[in-house]
Structure 1
Amino acid sequence: MKNKVLFIIPSLAGGGAERVFVNIVNTIDKSIFDVTLVCLSTERNVYEVSSDVRVINLKSKRVRNATLKILRLIRKERPSLVVSTLGHLNSMLLMLKLFFPKNTKLIIRQTNIMSFNRGKNTLIRKKAGNKLYKNADMIVCQSKFMKDDFINITGVKSSNVIKIYNPVDLDSMLIKSNEDIKYEFNEGQINIFFAGRLEEVKRIPLIIDAFQNFREKNHYSKLYILGEGPKKSELMNYTVKKKLSHSVEFLGFQQNPYKWLKHADLFIMASKHEGMPNVLIEAIALGIPVLVLKHPGGTIDILRTLNIEDRFVNNLVIDKNSFDAYDKRVLSILKANFGVEIVVKQYEDLFKSVIQIGE
């Protein structure tokens, strides 16, 4: 008999957490698990879900408006396991866990580093978090740093927290990178790329500054910024202020960013912190040299695994060494550690162990 699993997520709009869930539900062994993907809303979907995955749209734009719908669905479906991701949804399901069917387990996947996303009153929050998170049967963190930080902030037992990297569908990404784009890159031009949400935590002005310094001696170069976000207008004004409006191009959100990234000579990041940046894995898989300003989080896990920690720098300075190519074995190492089949197998093993608890 198959084990019924409900994966619950706010939407399938473009984002790292959404991509991770789609990779899991598409790849998971359907001979063992009966998979249903529950979305609060299916508006602005950008990810393709396999035809053998049932999708339920709750038609609720806000998490708080979906509380009763989710609880009714769980009590009706009586799944062996509920899996959720993203903060507000995780919190809501942790509170609802007391009303789940008796044998239904709950796994939540953390998407952020707790110490960078909590208020000043740490002691009170730690006590409240510990009481709330103990309702989860297991908590998944994306990196060692995130796991250690989570345990330290919440006080949850380490035995209830597991590190599993994000699954990245590298083969699919490489295929998509070969699609044509209606854009002409100038021959001989040095193309530098950033891809991600345009928000404060990404510290994109530092990237623009580093590019400006590089361009002083390398005039035939251009910075491309892939993504949307609340800081877009501010960043565009910043490029005007820096007199770079003709040398920095904002490409907006692209459903297939890989066909753009393959034209990059360098991929650059300057985040304050990162959980586990999928886009960095993808850029490296495309053979693009990377330059990353040092920050706490899971980024070091990626670079250390690949033995390219020299790309993790204290000062964001683009020079000729920034464009050095990698060892040809990089892709196989990436697949062995972050490939979708490898990581989803780890999720399957986790699901089996959690479902068996209490049987």
Structure 2
Amino acid sequence: MKKVLFLIHDLGQGGAEKVLINLVNHLDLARFDVTVMSLFGGGINEQFLKPEIKYLTVFKKMVPGNTKLMKMLSPNQLHKCFIREKYDIEISYLEGPAARIISGCKDDTTKLVSWIHVEQHTMKQLSASFRSAKEASECYGRFDMTVCVSKCVRDDFCEILDYKKPCRVLYNTVESEMIVRKSIEKVNIFSDYKVFRIVAVGTLKAIKGYERLFEVVKKLTLESYSIHLYVLGIGPEKKKLENYIKENELEKVISLLGYDTNPYKFVKNCDLFVCSSYAEGFSTSATEALIVGTPVCTVEVSGMKEMLGENNEYGIVTENNEEALYQGIKRLLDNPDLLAHYKKQAEIRGRMFNTENTVKAVEEMLLSL
């Protein structure tokens, strides 16, 4: 049996955190002795870990300025402080601090895996959690395997570091059967009034591009389209977005629903899922929309063309700007037949993200190390 450690910053509401829970809950525990460790406890996704999975935290809650504090110690010193047991495989399940800590392992018999979730574009961004670009390059060079969640993320990572060590793409694990089952629950907040329902899911932070999505919704409303945007998520931009809605008198057009453990029932009962992000890794929320058969319109971010096709076969991918997103949504509003077509295509593409297949690929990777 392989003894495996997954280290992550925290188990908050983010996509990577959710995907990690999905993955470890479905690993074959007859072959893998699994421990999940988060640097900081209190994350909302902790409750979904199966009891069979060992869970450890370094600190009970978030420590302000933790990245700067951790830079005071070397990767080896951090590893000695935080990782007290011997593991066959140690996995950094996010770029940054977790990768720096795991890279400090000095046991040659332990295999090290780095899991990269987002495009980082520049060495400055990639090395932000390290003391320097040189240290970042050295740390990532210590890993036996690097896993990326999409081809775009892999190409970006390898180009920045001129990376020559093993690096492969493994798609995120989603609980497809559970998603479908929970999506049929009733949604009480939706009125019977005929309105085109748009949904967006994700942390309320600037990188998600909600303000420009609100601008698109405002423009369409002024053009007399009967639409309503529902946003699921919590985060630091909440007050700013609430102010935008109030200042633009959009209270009857945009609803911030907060965090819900079952976003699938909302997505299932909406006409269109929209992603307005400036950057993504491989969008878990968009994947879930396909699984429940909701058409997707998204700006081009990492992984979307892999998910929806180079030529918009399974959904609409626009250029990553406000005007292009506006035109993409408007096109679907004006063409009910096209929307119906993409609903069918979403159902087809959703079958690609079968839980069993994605977990099997990870297990094979771990056993091959």
Contact 1:94 1:135 in 2 (8 A): no
- For 1:4, the equivalent position in structure 2 comes to 3
2:209 matches 1:194: no
Structure 2 partner of 1:71 = 80
CA shift in 2, pair 1:196/1:306, >3 Å: farther
Work out whether 1:96 is the aligned partner of 2:104. Answer: yes
Root-mean-square deviation (CA, aligned residues, Å) is: 2.9
Q: Which residue of 1 aligns with 2:317?
A: 312
Residues 70, 174 of structure 1: alpha-carbon distance in 2 compared, 3 angstrom cutoff: farther
Deviations 1:67-116 (A, max 9, x none): 878635644x3110011222333333244223xx3311111111221216
Match of 2:366 in 1: 351
Q: Distance in 2 between matches of 1:23 and 1:218?
A: 42
Pair 1:225–1:117, CA change in 2 (3 A):
farther
1:229 paired to 2:235: yes
Residue 137 (structure 1) aligns with:
144
Task: Note the C-alpha offset of 1:328.
Answer: 4.0
Deviation track 1:162-202 (CA, whole Å, cap 9, x = no partner) reads: 11111111111111222334424333122111111222222
What CA distance in whole angstroms lies between the structure 1 residues aligned with 2:187 and 2:152? 38
Partner of 2:350: 334
Q: 2-side partners of 1:204 and 1:80: how far apart?
A: 42
Q: In 1, distance between residues paired with 2:133 and 2:49?
A: 37
2:160 aligned partner: 153
The answer to whether the Cα contact below 8 Å between 2:114 and 2:146 also exists between their aligned partners in 1 is: yes
| Structure 2 residue identity aligned to 1:11 | D
Deviation at 1:309, TM superposition (A): 5.9
Could you tell me how far 1:149 is from its partner in structure 2?
0.7
Instruction: Give yes or no for contact 2:2–2:32 (8 Å, CA) kept in 1.
Output: yes
Q: Is the 8 A contact 1:306 1:333 kept in 2?
A: no
CA, structure 1 residues 74+128, in 2 after alignment: closer, same or farther (shift >3 Å)?
closer
Q: Partners in 2 of 1:240 and 1:51 — Cα distance?
A: 44
Deviation readout 1:293-322 (Å, 9 max, x if unpaired):
2x3411111011896266112412223236
Counterpart of 2:92 in structure 1 is 84
One-letter amino acid of the structure 1 residue matched with residue 251 of structure 2: S
Which amino acid is 2:257 matched to? Answer: L
* TM-score under structure 1 length normalisation: 0.86
TM-score (norm 2): 0.84
Identity score, percent:
27
Deviations along 1:139-170, one digit per CA (max 9) or x if unpaired, are 1111111101101101221x421111111111
Is the 8 Å Cα contact of residues 287 and 325 (structure 1) preserved in structure 2? no
Q: What CA distance in whole angstroms lies between the structure 2 residues aligned with 1:251 and 1:327?
A: 24
Unaligned ranges ≥5, structure 2: none
Deviation readout 1:211-254 (Å, 9 max, x if unpaired)? 22322344532111111222222222222333312211111122
Alpha-carbon distance between aligned partners in 2 of 1:38 and 1:26, rounded to the nearest angstrom = 14
1:169 correspondence with 2:175: yes
Distance (whole Å) between structure 2 residues aligned to residue 281 and residue 58 of structure 1: 31
Kept in 2: contact 1:129–1:154 (CA 8 A): no
Number of corresponding residues? 346
Secondary structure class of the residue paired with 1:96:
coil
**Aligned equivalents of 2:20, 2:127: Cα separation in 1:** 32
The partner residue of 2:302 within 297, 300, 304 is: 297
Counterpart residue identity of residue 309, structure 2:
R
CA distance in 1, matches of 2:126, 2:57: 37
| 1:100-133 CA distance string (max 9 Å, x none) | x3311111111221216835999x9654432221
In the aligned structure 2, how far is the partner of 1:120 from the partner of 1:91? 11
**Are 1:54 and 2:69 an aligned pair?**
no
Query: Contact conserved, 1:227 with 1:252, CA < 8 A, in 2?
Result: yes
Shift in CA distance, 128/58, structure 1 to aligned 2, threshold 3 Å? closer
| 1:292 shift after superposition | 1.3
- List alignment gaps of at least 5 residues for structure 1: 355-359
